[in-house]
Structure 1
Amino acid sequence: MNKYDESIQKPQCETDTVKPHRPFFHGRLSIEEGGIERVTDEERQQNTTKFWHAATFWFSANMAVATLNIGSLGGSLGLPFWDCFIVILIVNITSNLLPAWTSVFGLTGLRMTTFSRYSFGYWGNMLVVIFSMIATTGWNAINSISGAAVLHAVSDGRFPIWAGVIVICMAVWVICVLGINWIHRLDTFIWIPPLIVWCVAAGTGASQLTGEDHVRLHGSDKAGAIVTFMALIFSFSISWVNCAADYNVRMPKDTPRWKIFGATYVGIFFPTVLVQTLGSALYTGTMTNAAWKEAYTSSSIGGLLKMALEPVGGFGKFLMVLAALSSIPNNIPNNYSFALHAQNLGPWAMRVPRVVMVTFGFIAAIIIGCCAARYFSDTLQTLLSVIGYWTVIHITLVMEEHFIFRRGWNGYDFDAWNSTANLPFGWAAIGAFGFGFLGAALGMKTAWYSGPIASVIGKQGANIGHELTFAFSGTIFPLFRWVEKHYGGR
């Protein structure tokens, strides 16, 4: 036991002894068993994950049509291509550092939502669990809609978006049921087909694209659009924070942290910048070609992709199907990690087989995806913002706990991950969480609500909710945590 826990006695409690039931598929098809239990050093000697899987996994997750869709949002805010490109590049250079850092936590053998108990406390961590489940379900739905929009476009409207959502979610469910070993096997190569699609689309659609500023925003209006687009790109990047560690728990214990950090950063940064830039470029076609604008209005990003690939005829339709299927690896982190988030709800949840939790997430994503498709653009921007606010609080508190109170990796007792007696209750995190969302309420800008501070920036307002969320939660947590630790001893 390290110095941080020397004064703490470790009594047995219910959460120390809970073991999930052995699933009925034990030993079949190499389906992953177990749940959120810490993966021991001995267990990592079997079915070991290679460090380069940390790159290929994120290549597959981000080489997706949803990433293309995010890039197009800058144009819809009135920004020209080169402004969008600069925002995409700069924001990704910095924000991708955060999921790369949290990916290293997987080397402890703990998933990220479980590891958060050390900063949020056992019971305060329920906030992390609930919001993580909401976030992953929301992304699962939104990403499925992005892929379904492409199938809708390639079928000339005959294949409804709700049907596409079901098809994509079903494929994701099957892979997530199989588990982490199958996921890493598939993600080794399934990023290649969508990469081919994006390269072809960039070439065949280039004649319709432009770098000129047709909207010509000025002053505070342009500043507001830039800040809002920065917030959307930032939200997309840090959405991986609460699950990045989950896919490295089977890495050998002696794997250097810098390798995991570097592989994850490369795996997120390069496909995200590439595909978001293409999305931004494709949107400019709506400025120069009325047919492109009509296609975007009727089928969103799917319409733009159809117009870009139209010159290659039937082969272009085949490529569009591949693009739609890129939503499958894009959604795997959401559906798979949903089950791990849910098992943190308490001892009873650990008894529920992982496969059942995956199925719950699958059903929720279908229901929300089919309902949200009608208001896709507004839903996408609002979801990105709200998820981003909560994720800022999550990563801020984890970082402050790690560097200020734990003072590095030696400050943790990893055997206490499931002990209510040896983890803080979480009053400090709960208080900081509330203050963080107060900051978000003051600075957020969504389709349905603009905060009082956000509203004064330009005619359309600007999303500065992330900055205020960080300031409010990051300032109050150290004070609250010191009080909690001083009087509670943990």
Structure 2
Amino acid sequence: MDATRPPRAAPATARHAAVPAAGPVATGPGADTAPRPGGVAIETRSIDYVPARERHGKVWHQGPFWFTGNFVLTTMVTGFIGPALGLGLGWSVLAVVLGACFGTFFMAFHANQGPRMGLPQMIQSRAQFGIRGAIVPFVAVVFVYVGFNVFNVVLATEGLQTVLPGGSTLWYAVLISIAIVLAVVGHDLLHLVQRWLTYALIAVFGVLSVGAMVNLDVATPAGGGGMSWTAFLVVFSGAAGYQISYAVYVSDYSRYLPADVPARKVIWWTYAGAAGSAAWLMSLGALLASALPDPDAIGAVRRVGNDIVPGFGTFAVLVSSLALISIMAVNAYGAMLTTTSAIDAFRPVRPTVRVRVAGIVAIEAIVFVVAIVLPDDYLGSFNDFVLMMLYFLIPWTAVNLVDFYLVRRGHYAVTAIFDPRGIYGRWSWRGLTAYTVGFAAMIPFFKTSFFTGPVADALDGADLSFAVGLLVGGALYAWLCRDLDLTAERAAERASEAELEGADAPRGV
């Protein structure tokens, strides 16, 4: 199967199968999950292969999904960086737009892997790192999911507390419970919620953005307002790295698309949604930070909105909180898939609904505990934590994309991804070597509050580590794979396709 062409599979448009009230569900690649009477309409799949008869959805749905997924107050905070460093508004906007567009390029190309392979994003890493070797990037991915959800639940709680009573602990529990329900119902509900929230967010923040441009005075910027190439590179890198962080779960939400959807459409809709919302919200953040002294996301939105119409700013904050709850569910869903993949590498896991629920609840329980114990001044150390996790993800995305588009060109034996004795093995030295060297090459370029690499120091704090990790990790992996026996893999791929096609055939009643 070429990376831009669909694998052989019979067309199908069936929705998720209903899950029986009790008892096991089918497992393994291509397992039967035909609808059964008296079921509850929740997703039955987790890390297993999605057969052709269950493929459904429209490719344009990727656009609103990633628009809302990225249109959260956490994204807007990235736009605060430029003015805080003394960068002028125009330069800050240019830096975040270019950075967001650059970073989304890598993120969007992962979307094409979903319909081609029918698998969640991170389990595909087994082809590059080995079934057990893939746990190396898995660890960083789970930390990123948890870290972002902690930040999201804190922000959403602060937003709701602007109009509703109740302490933080109570709201953490309520919001996390809602996120759990959304994640348990799964893929289709998450797509639906994200799609409808897109319309609301465009309407509300369209008005808010116009109001900000009309009412705010940036003639005397709060943060200064000059041009510095160092600050420009810091902002560019921050926006690019933020977008690349979404790469770890892109195909989780494209894997149900029919295998014959055009690659360019999957990539384009993902890119348009994610880059469009990031460029918009980060630019708005730059505008707010340029005009308001010491802005915070919630306070700035309330102030600007209430200046337009009394109460509108508070309404905008509430809508933003809904988007944060939605992305919390998306993160919990992805964390469950990644954690299940890691456990399955050492002890086979039957991907039942019960396992899905347990995984989602466990992840969100950790989020709840961490949110409670965080000190009030957590934000500085939290940002360092998330930045370090992103450092670990950069060489992964380089290896994964190079493997899919340049080395194996979309040819994979899906069943072997679940077989420790298969062609991908337990540990793959090529992927692990490229990942390790790519990460090591980034260290001199790191810039955090507790460590500045020598190159970053020479650049007055500009962090270009993401570019180095992408280049070194990807190029080294391509070089190490020059003698890979692709002929033997093609035979395994044909056997895998035959097995999957047999499992996907209609079952007798």
TM-score, normalised by the number of residues in structure 2: 0.80
User: What secondary structure, in the 3-state scheme, does the structure 1 residue paired with 2:102 have?
Assistant: helix
Conservation of the 8 A alpha-carbon contact between 1:80 and 1:214: no
Aligned residue number for residue 201 of structure 1: 208
Conservation of the 8 A alpha-carbon contact between 2:88 and 2:221: yes
Aligned residue number for residue 345 of structure 1: 342
Aligned residue number for residue 123 of structure 2: 114
C-alpha displacement of 1:383 = 3.8
- 2:310 matches 1:323: no
What is the CA–CA distance in structure 2 between the aligned matches of 1:34 and 1:485, rounded to whole Å?
Answer: 32
Aligned residue number for residue 129 of structure 1: 138
What is the CA–CA distance in structure 2 between the aligned matches of 1:28 and 1:209, rounded to whole Å?
Answer: 58
Conservation of the 8 A alpha-carbon contact between 2:103 and 2:244: yes
- 2:113 matches 1:105: yes
- What aligned pairs does 1:234-253 form with structure 2 within 5 A after superposition? 234-253=240-259
Query: What's the % identity of the aligned pairs?
Result: 19
What is the CA–CA distance in structure 2 between the aligned matches of 1:32 and 1:328, rounded to whole Å?
Answer: 19
Conservation of the 8 A alpha-carbon contact between 2:301 and 2:316: no
User: What secondary structure, in the 3-state scheme, does the structure 1 residue paired with 2:157 have?
Assistant: helix
C-alpha displacement of 1:68 = 1.7
Q: Which amino acid aligns with 1:244?
A: V
Aligned residue number for residue 42 of structure 2: 31
- 2:76 matches 1:68: yes
Identify, as 1 or 2, the structure richer in helix: 1
- What aligned pairs does 1:401-416 form with structure 2 within 5 A after superposition? 401-406=403-408, 408-409=409-410, 411-416=411-416
- What aligned pairs does 1:210-289 form with structure 2 within 5 A after superposition? 210=218, 212=220, 215-216=223-224, 222-287=228-293
- 2:94 matches 1:86: yes
Conservation of the 8 A alpha-carbon contact between 2:153 and 2:328: yes
Runs of 4+ with >6 A deviation: 16-22, 483-486
The CA RMSD over aligned residues, in Å, is 3.1
User: Residues 305 and 437 (structure 1 numbering): CA distance in 2 closer, same or farther, change over 3 Å?
Assistant: same
What is the CA–CA distance in structure 2 between the aligned matches of 1:317 and 1:146, rounded to whole Å?
Answer: 14
- 2:406 matches 1:395: no
User: What secondary structure, in the 3-state scheme, does the structure 2 residue paired with 1:420 have?
Assistant: coil
What is the CA–CA distance in structure 2 between the aligned matches of 1:163 and 1:435, rounded to whole Å?
Answer: 45
Q: Which amino acid aligns with 2:153?
A: S
What is the CA–CA distance in structure 1 between the aligned matches of 2:179 and 2:398, rounded to whole Å?
Answer: 31
TM-score, normalised by the number of residues in structure 1: 0.83
What is the CA–CA distance in structure 2 between the aligned matches of 1:471 and 1:420, rounded to whole Å?
Answer: 30
What is the CA–CA distance in structure 2 between the aligned matches of 1:161 and 1:457, rounded to whole Å?
Answer: 41
User: Residues 333 and 215 (structure 1 numbering): CA distance in 2 closer, same or farther, change over 3 Å?
Assistant: same
Structure 1: tracts of 5 or more residues without a match: 3-15, 288-292
Counterpart selection for 2:151 from 142, 158, 162: 142
Give per-residue Cα distances to partners, 1:156-213, cap 9 Å, x unaligned. 9x76555544443222111001111211222221222233332233344442341655
Structure 2: tracts of 5 or more residues without a match: 3-26, 493-509
- What aligned pairs does 1:325-474 form with structure 2 within 5 A after superposition? 325-347=322-344, 348=347, 350-351=349-350, 353-372=355-374, 374-406=376-408, 408-409=409-410, 411-421=411-421, 422-424=423-425, 425-458=427-460, 461-474=461-474
What is the CA–CA distance in structure 2 between the aligned matches of 1:335 and 1:358, rounded to whole Å?
Answer: 6
What is the CA–CA distance in structure 1 between the aligned matches of 2:375 and 2:166, rounded to whole Å?
Answer: 14
How many equivalent pairs are there?
Answer: 453
Give per-residue Cα distances to partners, 1:350-397, cap 9 Å, x unaligned. 236111111111112222334446234424532442233222211111
Q: Which amino acid aligns with 2:393?
A: T
Conservation of the 8 A alpha-carbon contact between 2:132 and 2:342: no
Q: Point out the more displaced range, 463-472 or 389-398.
A: 463-472
User: What secondary structure, in the 3-state scheme, does the structure 1 residue paired with 2:48 have?
Assistant: coil
Give per-residue Cα distances to partners, 1:326-360, cap 9 Å, x unaligned. 20222232111111111111433623611111111
What is the CA–CA distance in structure 2 between the aligned matches of 1:385 and 1:223, rounded to whole Å?
Answer: 21
Q: Point out the more displaced range, 465-474 or 330-339.
A: 465-474
- What aligned pairs does 1:126-205 form with structure 2 within 5 A after superposition? 126-152=135-161, 154=162, 163-205=170-212
User: What secondary structure, in the 3-state scheme, does the structure 2 residue paired with 1:241 have?
Assistant: helix
What is the CA–CA distance in structure 1 between the aligned matches of 2:167 and 2:219, rounded to whole Å?
Answer: 33
Counterpart selection for 1:307 from 303, 309, 331: 303
Conservation of the 8 A alpha-carbon contact between 1:148 and 1:162: no
What is the CA–CA distance in structure 2 between the aligned matches of 1:84 and 1:149, rounded to whole Å?
Answer: 27
Conservation of the 8 A alpha-carbon contact between 1:429 and 1:481: no
